[in-house]
Amino acid sequence: DTLLRQMQTFGFPVVVKPVRQGSSIGVSLARDYDELKRALDLAFKFDTDAIVERAVMKKREFNVSVMCTANGLIVSEVDEPITEKTVITFEDK
């Protein structure tokens, strides 16, 4: 209830995601209170804490992996997923 009251000044759309999940696991876009409730339910299936932040619309997404080894960093190629979707799911990636 506190979050829903705070959303009156924050506004929509927002992105909701579990705090400690990587990639796009449990991430949702919410455009209204009903979608926000569903998004929070999903996020809390993966973590006890969730992040709610303003959605950046018409953005570009880039994926890159970095691994630290005894010999230094190994960096993957940069990938830009191309899709019409607003939020790219884990399965899409």
pLDDT tens digits along 17-63: 999 877 678 999 999 989 999 999 999 999 999 999 988 877 788 88
Amino acid 5: pLDDT: 76
**Is residue 70 predicted with pLDDT exceeding 70?**
yes
pTM: 0.68
Amino acid 92: pLDDT: 66
**Helix (H/G/I), strand (E/B), else coil: 26:** coil
Contact 27, 16 (CB under 8 A): yes
CA atoms within 13 A on the CB side of 86: 11
